[in-house]
Amino acid sequence: MKKWPNKYVIGLTGNIGTGKSVVRRMLEHLGAYGIDADALAHRAIAKDAPGYDKVVETFGRFLLAPDEQIDRAKLGRLVFSDPDALATLESIIHPLVVQAVDLLIKRASQKVVVIEAIKLLETDLADMCDAIWVVYTPPEIQLQRLMFNRNMTEKDARQRIASQIPQESRFARANVIIKNVSTYHETWRQVTNEWQRHVPAKPVGEHPVSQPVRLPLGEVNVQRAGPKNVKEIARLYKELSIDKKDLSPSDVMEAFGEKAFLLLRVENNVMGVLAWQVENLVSRTTEILLDPALPPAQYLPILIREMEHASNDLQCEASLIFVPPHLSRHDSLWNSLGYVEKKPSELNILAWQEAAEDSMPKDSVLFFKQLRPDRVLKPI
């Protein structure tokens, strides 16, 4: 009997540095609800989460940083060099992650769900999925990504790669194998082809458009951008960004591996763009570009509310907006939308702090809003 009878669940796995998260985001662009089980595992041992006390009791207080959070780098060095310690840690964390995954899937409005988990096949989560997708990358590319994208030393990167099962050993369980070895375009082609072949729900096609609003300059609506909009997005960045970013359509296409874009249309003209991403149940708006002909007080709320609507549909706990200085001066605007100016250190949940620290562009101002009162992993 299916664990989640009304959902089609894809289990997405692959070794470290293979690009699982990029493939998950591609599936999200196609309409799936994405869950990063590895991020949930990090949440499970935060100071305000149910796995914290057990990990500290089992491995010792020497793991604690000055703020009394568990130093995950120190914990990683301990368990990845000791298989027994790793198994003990997983026995603490895994039941909490499964509990969180179950809650998120049951609450999701989407009919297709993708669970990204590096150890999917080593757990009972794999048996709960309708299909297994494996992402493969040659070892030399894994090493490069870990060193350059995650700032690991070569020694640490090689240790992490060696601590995992051979990539090819996952293939026997796979319904789909994605070879993430060249360009974003090629990986996107593989993902869309396999989606059409295997997923019962058909591709979403056109991205939804918000209900139009009539303002003095004409009819206004917001559209979730897709790959066909890359030229429009590139033009907006060149015309409206402070540093006049000269992005090629290929650059924008690559950006879809990290974020989504909302386009503000006035009549038939695209006059604004909002770049945002949802990771670990936190919505992060990293860029807002608005044509200077549009008064921010009238037009920004339309973009922000559509971002929040999509974020709520993705069960986000909080919204972080990184605002450029020229827009941060509109205090009454942000206050009217329920946002408060914060520093990352002032956020009282570790996952929110880390999201702010990881994503905050230089010279931007952080505005914060809690979107839902409950959290998926909270103290028991």
Taking 50 as the threshold, does the pLDDT of residue 325 lie above it?
yes
Q: What gap in Å lies between CA 223 and CA 24, rounded to an integer?
A: 21
Helix, strand, coil percentages in the chain from 3-state DSSP, rounded to 5: 45, 20, 35
Average pLDDT over residues 249-272: 92
Q: Which long-range contacts (CB under 8 A, 24 or more apart) does 82-89 make?
A: 85/59, 86/163, 88/58, 89/55, 89/58, 89/59
**Interval 19-46: pLDDT, tens:** 999 999 999 999 999 999 999 999 999 9
Average pLDDT over residues 80-84: 86
Using DSSP's 3-state secondary structure scheme, residue 234 falls into helix
Average pLDDT over residues 83-105: 94
Average pLDDT over residues 312-340: 93
**Interval 175-198: pLDDT, tens:** 999 999 988 889 999 999 999 999
Residue 208 pLDDT grade (very low, low, confident, very high; cuts 50, 70, 90): low
Taking 50 as the threshold, does the pLDDT of residue 84 lie above it?
yes
- For residues 118 and 211, the model is more confident at 118
| pLDDT at 268 (0 to 100) | 85
Question: Counting Cβ atoms within 10 Å, is residue 268 exposed (0-12), middle (13-18) or buried (19+)?
Answer: exposed
Residue 204 pLDDT grade (very low, low, confident, very high; cuts 50, 70, 90): low
Q: What angle do CA 282, 160, 98 make, to 5 degrees?
A: 45
Are residues 323 and 288 in contact, defined by beta-carbon separation less than 8 angstroms?
yes
Please, what are the domains in the chain?
Answer: 8-198 (3.40.50.300), 213-370 (3.40.630.30)
Residue 157 pLDDT grade (very low, low, confident, very high; cuts 50, 70, 90): confident
Q: Which two tokens stand for residue 59?
A: 């491995």
**Interval 332-371: pLDDT, tens:** 999 999 999 999 999 989 999 999 999 999 999 999 999 9
Mean per-residue pLDDT over the chain, rounded: 91
pTM for this prediction:
0.89
Q: Which two tokens stand for residue 295?
A: 């008064």
Residue 62 pLDDT grade (very low, low, confident, very high; cuts 50, 70, 90): very high
Reference 26, options 141, 197, 187; nearest CA is 187
Q: What gap in Å lies between CA 27 and CA 69, rounded to an integer?
A: 33
Ranges of beta strands (E only) in the chain are 8-13, 33-36, 112-116, 131-136, 176-179, 213-215, 218-224, 260-266, 269-279, 282-290, 318-323, 340-342, 365-370
Taking 50 as the threshold, does the pLDDT of residue 380 lie above it?
no
Q: Which two tokens stand for residue 359?
A: 């994503």
Taking 90 as the threshold, does the pLDDT of residue 379 lie above it?
no
Q: What gap in Å lies between CA 134 and CA 15, rounded to an integer?
A: 9
Of all residues in the chain, the percent with pLDDT exceeding 90 is: 72
| pLDDT at 244 (0 to 100) | 83
Q: What gap in Å lies between CA 379 and CA 191, rounded to an integer?
A: 38
Average pLDDT over residues 59-76: 93
Taking 70 as the threshold, does the pLDDT of residue 73 lie above it?
yes
